Amino acid sequence: MNGRVGEPGSPVSVADVALPLGGLAVATAAWWALVAAADVPPYLLPPPDAVAAVLLGNPGLFVRNAAATARKIAIGGGVGIAAGLALAVSISRLRWLRRAVYPYLVTVRVLPKIAIAPLLLIYVGTGMTTAVVFIGLIAFFPMVLSTAAGFERVPAEQRDLLRSVDAGSLDAFLRLELPYAVPDLFAGLKQSVTLAVIGAVVAEWIVADSGLGFLVLLASENVQVDLMLAALVVLVALGLALYGLIAVAQRRLVWTPTAD
């Protein structure tokens, strides 16, 4: 049907691909032109080809650090997402638990999680664990809030319908509640993964041992703008890859809610 661009299940046209690529080409050309025309010194803003040369000149450096960042995101994000999912399911089943914790979940949402990083340094130390805990915390909140909201979408009459035939509670969960929550679950997942990438960079600034965030920090201290930009390009690629993975899963798994 006439779905909007980016809606799960909508076909991708040539223009959907060509226009963004064209935009990227124009922006790169403008960067090039600016550097050449204004005679910007390369240590302030290197031209795109210089950044590409840094990237291609030492691919091992970027692969190694991207892997370190990806590992933190996978472990920390995985733990945060799993915990968020588990709590969302729990509070959807247990009304008293929902009433006890939900107000605080909503309250804590306004706290910039980055502000608690120094606290973690004191409690957890300065290693991988700190990074994992920090990324986990950041990924946890959007996951639990979004998924819990999804479970709230089940219409009361749908629950009554299943009660009218005395359906089992596991059946009700798997066949009714979970499918209703799944679009919100994926919305939460996308937010959590995006935030986990931010969390990983911040963690690498604080813990400062490895990863793309660490590379950016290091390059900044040495005023190597070309290295910084190259690291940022890899970071963007990493974030896009993670986001894309979820978008593909969503296309395959999720029905599209429509106004009814």
Whole-angstrom distance, CA of residue 104 vs CA of residue 208: 32
Number of residues forming the site for other proteins (CB under 8 A): 20
Q: How far is the CB of 156 from other proteins (least distance, A)?
A: 9
CB of 160 to other proteins, least distance (A): 5
Stretch that binds other proteins, among 11-19, 44-52, 83-91, 155-163 (CB under 8 A): 155-163
Binding of residue 3 to other proteins (CB under 8 A): no
Task: List for the chain the helix, strand, coil content (%; round to 5).
Answer: 80, 0, 20
Task: Supply 112's token pair.
Answer: 């910039």
Residue 200's φ and ψ, nearest 5 degrees, are -65, -40
Distance CA(170)–CA(2), nearest Å, equals 36
Distance CA 58, CA 212 (A): 14
Buried b (16+ CB within 10 A) or exposed e, 74-92: ebbbebbbebbbebbbebb
In this structure, what token pair is assigned to residue 136?
Answer: 């986990």
Q: Does 164 bind other proteins (CB under 8 A)?
A: yes
Binding to other proteins, residues 173-192 (CB under 8 A):
175-176, 179
- Rounded to an integer, what is the distance from CA 123 to the centroid of its chain? 26
By beta-carbon proximity to other proteins, the closer residue of 39 and 166 is 166
Q: Which two tokens stand for residue 48?
A: 């795109």
CB 181 to other proteins: min, Å: 12
Q: How far is the CB of 200 from other proteins (least distance, A)?
A: 34
* Contact with other proteins (CB under 8 A) among 4, 6, 166, 170: 166
Our finding on whether 2 is near other proteins (CB under 8 A) is no
What does the binding site for other proteins look like in residue numbers (CB under 8 A)? 155, 157-158, 160-167, 171-172, 175-176, 179, 255, 257-258, 260
